[in-house]
Amino acid sequence: MVASTCGSSFKVVAANAATAVIWLSVDTRNLSIAVMRGDTELQIFENIAIGSNGSSMRRLMGDNTTPLGDFTITEIRHSDRFELFMAFDYPNLAHTERAFEDKRIDAQEYRTLRYDLDRGNLPSQGTSLGGDLGIHGIGDGDLKIHESINWTDGCIAITNEQLMELADWVQVGTQVIVH
């Protein structure tokens, strides 16, 4: 495909999988995380754990569900409890809008969340929608429990070894799609 502008021409080249951005696909049914580049699966981490009550589009604080949706890694930090914590932007605009439409949050909480979101800030993590969610290891937790049940309060957990491998792929800004 050739396009022209101001008398000169240039070739438009579509980005291929080798130059596409890394993103994560979290499969809550098959309990896996796939590291993706474009449509290409680069690595898969199996036997992950999610919220003890499964996944949901309508998460609330304390319901122990993992929210479904499209998120972005906002912070990667050391965690005394879980080795490493890769926080993502929950609640984000999509979850805030849906919660207001479903009347899970009132107008005041909606305005407070939107105030931060509209300014590019992560909203309060103590809202009725919950917060402090991300991907983490099991720390000193029991591997047999991790391998047997979904045990988190809403986060996505993988073994400490898997976490260190995943950390090689992830950075602040990495997209995480939880489905």
94-110 pLDDT, tens digit per residue, is 999 999 999 999 999 99
34: CATH? 2.40.440.10
Structure-token pair, residue 15: 């980005």
Count of domains forming the chain = 1
pLDDT of 2 above 60: no
Q: Name the pLDDT band for 88 (thresholds 50, 70, 90).
A: very high
- Residue 147 within any structural domain of the chain: yes
Q: What is the pTM of this model?
A: 0.86
Alpha helices in the chain (DSSP H): 93-101, 107-118, 143-148, 160-167
Torsion of CA 170, 19, 42, 29, to 10 degrees: 70
CA distance 87 to 5: 44
pLDDT digits (tens, 9 = 90+) for 31-66: 999 999 999 999 999 999 999 999 999 999 999 999
Residue range(s) defining the domain that contains residue 141:
14-90+130-178
